[in-house]
Amino acid sequence: MNPNESSLTSFISAFGRAYHSKYDTPKIFDDFVAIDLISKKEFSDISENMIKGIQFFNEDIAKAFQNQPEEILKWITQVQLSPTPLARAAYCEKVLLNEIMLGLKQYVILGAGLDTFCFRHPELKNRLEIFEIDYPATQEFKKKRLDHANFKIPSNLHFVSMDFTHMFSFQDLIDEGFDNKKTFFSFLGVSYYLTKEENSSLINNLFAKVPSGSSIVFDYADEKLFEEKGMSNRVKNMVKMASASGEPMKSCFTYYEIEKMLQNSGLLIYEHLSPARINDFFFSDRKDYLSAFETIHYVHAVKE
């Protein structure tokens, strides 16, 4: 990604969360703030572009719903765009809120994009320091959106501009008030866009200076990423869309590789969710198109 451009994938992810909050039931993850960060025109334009592009996603659906644009949009959003952003956020925040109950005071969001956790949980203002790390352009884009939506940035939210694919800087965090105490990291929707070496280096740097008990939740693509088609070709489409947007997917892992990478940084896997388990946890008994995305796994790992 060009550091001078805001992330398109983070914007589309926010659109998926906003659509879910507005139209879907029951809710997997209710990001009721995301809609405020997208203008009505942008929401309409993205919807229209998705509907027009249905042939790219699925020709059979294009024919079946040719006179039902709202059903086409629902299908694209629920099948292609929303499943992973919704379920990984739901899982991550479940773990995070449990950590807060156990006394956690510090949360670092890597590749924050248009994350809205801070604004959905104002009750944590005096209990949790939140550090959002992302490219400068992405953060400026978000700040403008927050200002336009009349959201005041609370005192416990700290923006740290960084290209962590090159060098992770604890000093930049420290300058914003980061302390050497138990920390929870979220690393969602990013690992695929880094090389294996960049992922390993980042995890190693993250946990080199934080105490035992610090942990991370992240998602990763398994070794079938570049060969699996997925339901309605959605895995193949995801890889194509990422490349077309200028943010190509670069890495996928076997479970053993993930385990080894974490062990090398002093971490143990506390919980691993495969696509089947993700489906059981978040998508069972639904009557719509939503289901867990093939090849995508979630991990909660803890420093020994």
Residue ranges of the domains in the chain?
8-80, 88-303
Average pLDDT over residues 182-201: 96
Provide CB contacts within 8 A for 1, sequence distance 6+: 7, 135, 193, 246, 247
pLDDT of 123 higher than 50: yes
Average pLDDT over residues 101-113: 97
Q: Give 7's pLDDT tier (boundaries 50, 70, 90).
A: low
Q: Report which of 79, 93, 76, 113 is spatially closest to residue 29, judged by C-alpha positions.
A: 93
Q: Looking at the DSSP assignment, which residues form a beta bridge with residue 221?
A: 296
User: Looking at this protein, which amino acid is placed at residue 95?
Assistant: V
Average pLDDT over residues 277-291: 97
pLDDT of 1 higher than 50: no
CATH 2.30.30.140 assigned to domain 88-303? The reply is no
Mean pLDDT of the chain: 95
Query: For tokens 């709202």, what's the residue?
Result: 70
Distance CA(260)–CA(186), nearest Å, equals: 19
